[in-house]
Amino acid sequence: MMSGNGGLPTAVARKVTALARELDEAPDALTLFSWASRLLRPIIPFDAAVWRATDPMTGMMTSPIRVENLGQDGCSVYWESELLTENVNLFSDLARAQVPAAGLHAATGGLPGRSTLYRAFLRPRGLNDELRAVARADGHPWGQISLFRAEGEPVFHSDDAMVLHRLSAVLARRLRSFAEPRTDPETGPTPSDGVGPGLLYFAPSGELVSLNDEARDYLTEIAALRAEPASPTPLGVAVPAWIHSTVSKARAIAAGRAGGSARLRVRGRAGRWLVCHASCLRTAEGELGASVVVIERAPISEVAPLMVRAYQLTDRELEITQLIARGMGTAEICEKLFISPHTVRDHVKSIFDKVRVTSRGELVAKLFTEHYAPLSEGREQRVFD
């Protein structure tokens, strides 16, 4: 029996609706991926899967990531195919498609050998088909889903793609909600997945009074790569000079003697970017009091402008680089930015020269492998069943 459910059988549509209600209760991204996998399997059987969050500004994969029944050896092969050689069923194309979900067999007209991803990744691992989707909300990509079926299993069909399309919209809305500040009335702010923020508490005199374990870990990570002045403390940690200067800036801002922001970004181990921000507290009488410093992993949307400026790109070149990462062609960039094709081509040539690449795929691959991948380190969940 069919109904107005996007072409899905009524029974399947009801299951998807029930699934969506459960996912709305997921407390964090990894739990969301775990629940979605468990609830989706009876509707669309699959043998392996990858669930990824993405940076909504660029569509680049970020963390957390849930990998099911796949080893670690294929990650580089998968992304080299996707970014450098593949021209079928790309995530960047799906992100802008009317239905952002499709199967590989369907996209190749039943000839998966046309796909480099199939030849380099699926077939060597005994996989026969991939159904993928982009989790999209308000026109921005918040996640990616890849479902795989093994050789000998049926290929994914159009109903499967529609189910994943419906599910991806639910995932996108929930992933987007995790990016919003959340406060529990009883327990206060809810930390995001993975390592929580490092907190340092400074007395009005500038002396470090206390810190949490996460802050110790972050300071150790930073110190391993940065040889610079640091002040020893009775707490057994050395506080870098730049943290003291950030605290001083926060006090100056609170006193009305400085503008701008008391925050900075610093690189830690394996290229991971951290963001440090300080705030000055006030007493009940309104006087300047202690200061608090928070250190946490920088979101990719904040790192992107920093790392492309390392290549001395202009603001316009940064904007075009982000649109290229989302898979937009010259005509789409023209329409988005209200500039001519000639201007776009000039900007793209300048970007290629500065980043030292020769193609759009190479540009995205370089930015991904050098800057985005380290941010996902340690926030990948790999399961086998």
Whether residue 52 is found in the same domain as residue 146: yes
pLDDT at 85: 85
Check which CATH number belongs to the domain holding 18 and give it. 3.30.450.40
Whether residue 240 is found in the same domain as residue 161: no
Whether residue 258 is found in the same domain as residue 338: no
Block residue for tokens 């800036």:
249
Q: What CA–CA distance (Å, rounded) separates 381 from 63?
A: 10
By CB neighbour count within 10 A (0-12 exposed, 13-18 middle, 19+ buried), where does 342 fall?
A: exposed
Query: Which residue segment(s) compose the domain that 350 sits in?
Result: 304-374
Closest by CA to 52, choosing from 372, 385, 303, is 372
Check which CATH number belongs to the domain holding 244 and give it. 3.30.450.20
Residue 46, SS3 per DSSP:
coil
Residue pair 344/320 in contact (Cβ under 8 Å)? The answer is yes
Whether residue 293 is found in the same domain as residue 324: no
What are the beta bridge partners of residue 150? 127
Q: What CA–CA distance (Å, rounded) separates 158 from 41?
A: 16
Largest Cα–Cα distance of the chain, in whole Å?
74
Report the chain's terminal Cα–Cα distance, integer Å. 34
pLDDT at 129: 98
The structure's pTM equals: 0.68
pLDDT in tens, 237-257: 888 877 887 888 888 888 887
Within a domain: 381:
no
Per-residue pLDDT tens, the chain, 385 aa: give them: 334 455 678 888 888 889 989 999 999 889 999 999 999 999 999 999 999 988 787 787 776 789 999 987 777 788 878 877 888 999 989 999 999 999 999 999 999 999 999 999 999 999 999 999 999 998 889 999 999 999 999 999 999 999 999 999 999 999 988 865 443 434 333 333 346 789 999 999 888 999 999 999 888 877 654 445 566 778 888 888 778 878 888 888 888 876 667 887 776 665 567 888 899 999 989 999 999 999 988 776 666 666 665 678 888 998 898 899 888 999 999 999 999 999 999 999 999 999 889 999 888 887 766 665 555 555 678 888 7
- What is the total count of domains within the chain? 3
Q: What CA–CA distance (Å, rounded) separates 274 from 220?
A: 13
Residue that is last in its domain, among 238, 269, 298: 298
Whether residue 114 is found in the same domain as residue 157: yes
134-173: string of b/e by CB count within 10 Å (b at 16+)?
bbbbeebbbbbbbbbbeeeeebbeeebbbbbbbbbbbbbb
Whether residue 290 is found in the same domain as residue 336: no
Whether residue 25 is found in the same domain as residue 172: yes
Block residue for tokens 């419906």:
166
Residue that is last in its domain, among 272, 298, 324: 298
Check which CATH number belongs to the domain holding 358 and give it. 1.10.10.10
Write out the two tokens for 211.
Answer: 């810190």
Block residue for tokens 């940076």:
55
Q: Quote the Cα angle for 16-17-23, to 5°.
A: 85
Residue that is last in its domain, among 159, 182, 205: 182
Within a domain: 4:
no
Within a domain: 379:
no
Within a domain: 128:
yes
Within a domain: 149:
yes
Whether residue 84 is found in the same domain as residue 209: no
Whether residue 228 is found in the same domain as residue 284: yes
pLDDT at 75: 79
Within a domain: 36:
yes
Within a domain: 187:
no
Q: What CA–CA distance (Å, rounded) separates 116 from 52?
A: 21
Within a domain: 120:
yes
Whether residue 117 is found in the same domain as residue 47: yes
Whether residue 327 is found in the same domain as residue 275: no
Whether residue 41 is found in the same domain as residue 102: yes
pLDDT at 352: 94
pLDDT at 377: 55
